[in-house]
Structure 1
Amino acid sequence: MSVSIVSRTGWGAKPWAGDPAAVALSRRSEFFVHYDGGNPISYTGSKVPQTIDRAHRNQGWAGIGYNFVIDQDGTIYEGRGWGLQGAHCPGHNTTGIGVQIAIGGDQKPSDKALAACRALYEEACERTGRTLAKKGHKDGYATACPGKHLYAWVQAGMPAGDYQPTPGGSTGSPSSGASAVARYQVVINGLSYGYGASGAHITRVGEALVKRGFGKHYKSGPGPEWTDADTRNYQDFQESLGYSGKAADGVPGERSLKELLGTLPAKVTAKPSPPKYPGRDKFGPGKSNSYITQLGQQLVRKGYGKFYTQGPGPKWSEADRRNVQAFQRAQGWTGSGADGLPGPETWSRLFS
């Protein structure tokens, strides 16, 4: 990897309080820059992502909503990472990679933070195979974020001078004694591969690597959870196929996976039916019922929980209305079509 990223393990992240959806890199087309809000931030280090994670969980989210966070020392921390849907900009959480630079108010970002963000952007373009659109949060949502300094920087093309972030860095696995390894996921035929992915299909990959003579990094297993050992073994396999550089980063691609297994595994699951729309009379001021809780929880899962300061819960609130309205506007609806009250079409799209 050309940039150093402190993994979730490295900064002490808690397990997800839910199941953020996987997103293929091929779906990414935007790179969003954020700041923390109205108050300057005086601290750096792991406290930065830990504080954000705690705040986002208190809003009912699965955990930290940004894909990455960068402190003023230029250290990059993994949030949702490369492979999971963010919760940073309604309507853009799948297409956009959200990155918060940990400043607030009129605070100016450091040169190191800007350089790290630019390096992360270049890495994102490399991984997706396209030039991502550079955007501030306000380009996708009505907000003051990312503040005047960062937004001016984004509009100027995200210049970073001559500063280069330190290569390698913490991976959350200090016992490995080796250089940093790739810590992101890809989705192939509905199944996730790469660091942290789990399932019977991961065991199958490990067993195939061992069978082909590429299992020397396993100390136990292979097992159902993808680890650094899987990455290093897969990297050896990729190099045996003639791959090099970032094409041999230890994370499967379709061609190498098919070469290893003979075919691409497909995830076979029955698509659940969306819950039946309960009727418009269940929503609005003065209403209180389980459908409102169900609605709010799904809004959070979809990345539209920005206005909740607590909950969601069974009693209708202005936060429910504003979150529904944000979702409706993301569908391209305006006027009465985005009134914040869920009709049948809003309900259908939200739960699809």
Structure 2
Amino acid sequence: MEIITRAQWGARPWNGTPNTVPLSRRTEFFVHHDGESPITRTGYAIMRAIEATHIGQGWAGVGYNFVIDQAGNVYEGRGWGFQGAHCPDHNTTGIGVQIAVGGGQTPSAAALAACRALYEEACQKTGRSLAKKGHRDGVATECPGKQLYAWVQAGMPAGDYKPSPGPGGTPGPGSDGTARYQVTIGGLTYGYGAQGAHVTKVGEALVRKGFGRHYTSGPGPVWTDVDTANYSDYQRSLGYTGDAADGVPGEDSLRKLLGTAPTPSGLPPYPGREAFGPGKSNTHIQRLGEQLVRRGFGRHYSVGPSPQWGESDRRNVADFQRSRSELAGDADGYPGPLTWKLLFS
């Protein structure tokens, strides 16, 4: 979809570059409004006013990932790759979107359709169904106001807007309404076609909680439409409706089902010192960078993390090492076994 970039609307240089966040970390989509005062500005002036306020608060720039005006224009704030500053404890997992209304203003049909389209784009980019939330779902606040919050709770309907195909360009819901795409949570894949002992574990947990009526055999290690149907029943029992009860796990519902955060078992094995340094390129470097971002040590990335070792990786590792007394005397930016263990623990 068309997004008006920071350069187009005339953003100032960042007041200190925000941390980067890989799309794999995004699990939520937060809707905000502007507060108790009606919005009277239009066009680029909306973004410049928000930017001035947020920089005045000491932030790097606009705190939202995107802003949508009443004409349905979508403006880039932090964008897809930078950590937001819109909801404490949800700035890495959540994509924050302000619909530029306030003081009881009614959001336009164009604004709501643009927001829904942006949500669909976010789901495609992340490869999962993001949880639809209002700002008040993450922190004690009246935001995004009664009208917008009711819209979010209703599943973010947008008139004649037709959702795009499912994430990754694969088919979305089949003709029977069954969602046929996958999500990755805690390094494990769930949804149609996913395989592994963790899939069996979800099925067994559904049966224990009374949501196994669609099984005629199993559960087994391959996720099928039957697993999706049972999971959808479970989601509805939690109060989810519409797209939020599509039968594809989200992090919150999966945590409630299993009683713990879904993660691969065990610490990822240390690949050896030779895996890191100038000229190296491998999946271990990518994993290292993504974990640094999760732990809040990604400020030197301007793009990435990526499989290619760079000076930004070394500097971020050094920041983490200096933050730990066990490592502070040897903060050279190259991960040894102890750095690896402490980072991933």
Partner Cα distance (1:264, 1:144) in 2: 44
Q: Quote the offset at 1:162 in angstroms.
A: 1.5
SS of 1:90 mapped into structure 2: coil
**Within-5 A mapping of 1:122-141:** 122-141=120-139
Give the letter aligned to residue 143 of structure 2. Answer: C
2:16 to 1, 7, 18: 18
Is 1:271 aligned to residue 321 of structure 2? no
Residue matched to 2:153: 155
Residue matched to 2:294: none
**Within-5 A mapping of 1:212-227:** none
Query: Which runs of no fewer than 5 residues in structure 2 stay unpaired?
Result: 164-284, 291-300, 326-345
Residue matched to 2:67: 69
Give the letter aligned to residue 142 of structure 1. Answer: A
SS of 2:95 mapped into structure 1: strand
Quick check: 2:22–2:305 contact (8 Å CA) kept in 1? no
Deviations 1:282-321 (A, max 9, x none): xxxxxxxxxxxxxxxxxxxxxxxxxxxxxxxxxxxxxxxx
Residue matched to 2:46: 48
**Within-5 A mapping of 1:186-197:** 188=286, 190=289
Q: Quote the offset at 1:274 in angstroms.
A: 5.3
Q: Quote the offset at 1:42 in angstroms.
A: 2.2
Quick check: 1:116–1:164 contact (8 Å CA) kept in 2? no
Partner Cα distance (1:82, 1:38) in 2: 28
Residue matched to 1:321: none
Give the letter aligned to residue 14 of structure 1. Answer: R
SS of 1:38 mapped into structure 2: coil
Q: Quote the offset at 1:43 in angstroms.
A: 2.3
Partner Cα distance (1:188, 1:143) in 2: 37
Q: Quote the offset at 1:140 in angstroms.
A: 0.1
User: Could you tell me the percent identity over the aligned residues?
Assistant: 61
Residue matched to 2:57: 59
SS of 2:314 mapped into structure 1: coil
Partner Cα distance (2:103, 2:93) in 1: 27
Give the letter aligned to residue 102 of structure 1. Answer: A
Give the letter aligned to residue 27 of structure 2. Answer: S
Q: Quote the offset at 1:49 in angstroms.
A: 1.0
SS of 1:94 mapped into structure 2: coil
Give the letter aligned to residue 145 of structure 2. Answer: G
Partner Cα distance (1:6, 1:88) in 2: 20
1:80 to 78, 81, 84: 78
Q: Compute the RMSD of aligned alpha carbons.
A: 2.8
Partner Cα distance (2:130, 2:323) in 1: 36
SS of 1:149 mapped into structure 2: helix
Q: Quote the offset at 1:264 in angstroms.
A: 3.8
Partner Cα distance (2:153, 2:61) in 1: 29
Residue matched to 2:117: 119
Give the letter aligned to residue 314 of structure 2. Answer: V
Residue matched to 1:179: none
Partner Cα distance (1:36, 1:133) in 2: 21
Partner Cα distance (1:96, 1:8) in 2: 20
Give the letter aligned to residue 37 of structure 1. Answer: G
**Within-5 A mapping of 1:1-352:** 3-163=1-161, 188=286, 190=289, 264-265=308-309, 267-269=313-315, 270-272=317-319, 273=321
Q: Evaluate the alpha carbon distance shift between residue 268 and residue 59 of structure 1 in structure 2; reply closer, same or farther with a 3 A threshold.
A: same
Q: Evaluate the alpha carbon distance shift between residue 37 and residue 274 of structure 1 in structure 2; reply closer, same or farther with a 3 A threshold.
A: farther
Quick check: 2:21–2:81 contact (8 Å CA) kept in 1? yes
Q: Quote the offset at 1:96 in angstroms.
A: 0.2
Quick check: 2:67–2:98 contact (8 Å CA) kept in 1? yes
Partner Cα distance (2:58, 2:23) in 1: 26
SS of 1:97 mapped into structure 2: strand
Q: Evaluate the alpha carbon distance shift between residue 119 and residue 43 of structure 1 in structure 2; reply closer, same or farther with a 3 A threshold.
A: same
What is the TM-score normalised by the length of structure 1? Answer: 0.50
Quick check: 1:29–1:132 contact (8 Å CA) kept in 2? yes
Quick check: 1:5–1:75 contact (8 Å CA) kept in 2? yes
